[in-house]
Amino acid sequence: MKSHRVLLLIALLVVTFCGAAWAQNNGSITGTVKDPTGAAIAGASVVVTSPERGINRQTTTNSTGDYNESALPEGSYDIIVTAAGFKKYQAKGVKLDVAQKARVDVALEVGATTTEVIVEGENVAQVETQSSELAGTVTGTQISQLSLNGRNFTQLVTLVPGVSNQTGQDEGTVGVYGNVAYSINGGRTEYNNWEIDGGDNMDNGSNSTLNVYPNVDAIAEFKVLTSNYGAQYGRNASGTIEVETKSGTNKIHGTVDYFGRNDALNAFNYFDDPAQKPSYKKHDWGYTIGGPVVLPGYNKDRKKTFFFWSEEWRRERNPTTFLHNVPSDAERAGNFSDLCPDLVSGPTDFSNCPDVPDFTAVPIDPLAAALLPMIPQANTVNAGYPAYRASVSTPTQWREELIKVDHNVSDKMRATFRLIHDSWNTVTPTTLWSTGDFPTLQTNFLGPGVSVVARLTANVSPTLLNEFVFSYTTDHITLSNSGPWQRPSGITVGLFQNGFGGKLPGFQITGGTPYGDGFGMDPSYIPWKNSNPTYTFRDNLSKIVGKHSLTLGVYAAIGQKNEMDGFEPSNNGFITTDNTSDVTTGNSFADLLLGQVSQFQQENKQLKYYNRYKIVEPYAQDDWRITDRLTLNLGLRLSLFGTYREKYKQAFSFEQSHYVPGNTTLNPDGTVNGDPFNGIIQCGGSGIPIGCMTGHLFNPAPRIGFAWDPKGDGKMAIRGGYGIFYEHTNGNEGNTESLEGTPPLVLNPVQNLMNGYAEVGANVGAQLPLAVKSIPTKAIWPYVQQWHFDIQRELPSNVVATFSYVGSKGTHLTLIRNLNQLFPVPSSQNPYAPGQ
> CATH number for the domain including 230?
2.170.130.10
Q: Find residue 619's DSSP bridge partners.
A: 553, 637
Higher-pLDDT residue of 2 and 49 is 49
Residue 262 near residue 302, CB atoms below 8 Å = no
Residue 755 near residue 689, CB atoms below 8 Å = no
pLDDT reported for residue 670: 67
Residue 405 near residue 332, CB atoms below 8 Å = no
Average pLDDT in the 517-540 region?
A: 92
pLDDT reported for residue 764: 59
CA distance 212 to 190: 17
pLDDT reported for residue 118: 73
3-state SS assignment for residue 704: strand
Q: What angle do CA 249, 252, 253 make, to 5 degrees?
A: 90
Here the CATH number for the domain that contains residue 50 is 2.60.40.10
Interacting residues of 376 by C-beta distance below 8 A, sequence separation 6+: 326, 388, 390, 438, 439, 440
Provide the percentage of residues in the chain whose pLDDT is more than 70.
Answer: 91
Interacting residues of 787 by C-beta distance below 8 A, sequence separation 6+: 227, 228, 720, 721, 722, 723, 806, 807, 808
pLDDT reported for residue 25: 67
**Cis peptide, bond prior to residue 776, ω within 30 of zero:** no
Final residue in a domain of this structure, among 216, 245, 274? 245
CA distance 310 to 704: 41
Q: What's 435-464 look like in SS3?
A: CECCCCCEEEEECCEEEEEEEEEEEEECCE
Residue 240 near residue 228, CB atoms below 8 Å = no
Average pLDDT in the 37-56 region?
A: 90
CA distance 607 to 571: 11
Q: Is residue 93 part of a domain?
A: yes
Residue 4, phi then psi, degrees to nearest 5:
-70, -35
Q: Find residue 545's DSSP bridge partners.
A: 548
Residue 92, phi then psi, degrees to nearest 5:
-105, 145
Give the predicted TM-score (pTM) of the model: 0.87
Position 356 confidence tier, pLDDT thresholds 50, 70, 90: very low
- 172 and 112 in one domain? no
pLDDT reported for residue 168: 84
Q: Is residue 206 part of a domain?
A: yes
Q: Is residue 37 part of a domain?
A: yes
- 47 and 75 in one domain? yes
Range of the domain at 150: 134-245
Q: What's 219-287 look like in SS3?
A: EEEEEEEEECCCCCCCCCCCCEEEEEECCCCCCCEEEEEEEEEECCCCCCCCCCCCCCCCCCEEEEEEE
Residue 378 near residue 327, CB atoms below 8 Å = yes
Q: Find residue 551's DSSP bridge partners.
A: 542, 621
- 241 and 142 in one domain? yes
Which of 684, 681, 530 is closest to 608 using CA atoms? 530
Position 22 confidence tier, pLDDT thresholds 50, 70, 90: very low
Interacting residues of 513 by C-beta distance below 8 A, sequence separation 6+: 342, 385
- 142 and 72 in one domain? no
Query: Count of CB atoms within 10 A of residue 300's CB?
Result: 11
- 139 and 112 in one domain? no
Position 718 confidence tier, pLDDT thresholds 50, 70, 90: very high
Q: Is residue 178 part of a domain?
A: yes
Range with the lowest mean pLDDT among 445-454, 529-538, 552-561, 760-769? 760-769
3-state SS assignment for residue 191: helix
Q: Helices (DSSP H) in 67-221: which residue ranges?
A: 140-145
Is the confidence at residue 15, as pLDDT, over 60?
no
Query: Count of CB atoms within 10 A of residue 389's CB?
Result: 18
Residue 307 near residue 404, CB atoms below 8 Å = yes
Instruction: For residue range 554-604, list pLDDT tens digits in order.
Output: 999 999 999 998 766 667 889 999 988 999 888 899 999 999 999 999 888
- 170 and 114 in one domain? no
Total residue length of the chain: 836
Q: Is residue 406 part of a domain?
A: no
Final residue in a domain of this structure, among 57, 87, 120? 120
Higher-pLDDT residue of 274 and 834 is 274
Instruction: For residue range 103-147, list pLDDT tens digits in order.
Output: 888 999 888 766 677 776 555 557 899 899 999 999 988 998 888
- 149 and 232 in one domain? yes
Which letter, b or e, does each residue of 63-102 get, where b requires 16 or more Cβ atoms within 10 Å of its Cβ?
Answer: eebbbbbbbbbbbebbbbbbbeebbbbbbbebebbbbbbb
- 109 and 55 in one domain? yes
Q: Is residue 98 part of a domain?
A: yes
DSSP β-ladder status, 640-641 and 608-625: antiparallel
Is the confidence at residue 499, as pLDDT, over 70?
no
Is the confidence at residue 623, as pLDDT, over 90?
yes
pLDDT reported for residue 427: 94
Which of 249, 248, 231 is closest to 240 using CA atoms? 231
Q: Find residue 788's DSSP bridge partners.
A: 721, 806
In the DSSP assignment, the letter for residue 364 is P
- 92 and 176 in one domain? no
Helix (H) or strand (E) segment spanning residue 17 = helix 2-17
Helix (H) or strand (E) segment spanning residue 590 = helix 588-594
Is the confidence at residue 13, as pLDDT, over 60?
no
3-state SS assignment for residue 552: strand
Q: Is residue 681 part of a domain?
A: no
3-state SS assignment for residue 518: coil
Helix (H) or strand (E) segment spanning residue 14 = helix 2-17
Dmax over CA atoms of the chain, in Å, equals 117
Distances (CA, A) of 474 to 177, 214, 284, 532: 15, 14, 24, 5
pLDDT reported for residue 763: 62
Q: Is residue 79 part of a domain?
A: yes
Average pLDDT in the 822-831 region?
A: 79
CA distance 584 to 587: 7
Q: How many domains does the chain have?
A: 2
Average pLDDT in the 753-761 region?
A: 90
Range with the lowest mean pLDDT among 61-65, 312-316, 630-634? 61-65
CA distance 31 to 42: 13
Is the confidence at residue 511, as pLDDT, over 80?
no
Final residue in a domain of this structure, among 120, 155, 176? 120
pLDDT reported for residue 540: 92
CA distance 643 to 74: 36
Helix (H) or strand (E) segment spanning residue 331 = helix 329-332
Q: What angle do CA 474, 477, 482 make, to 5 degrees?
A: 165
- 148 and 75 in one domain? no
Residue 124, phi then psi, degrees to nearest 5:
-70, 140
pLDDT reported for residue 122: 58
Residue 95 near residue 682, CB atoms below 8 Å = no
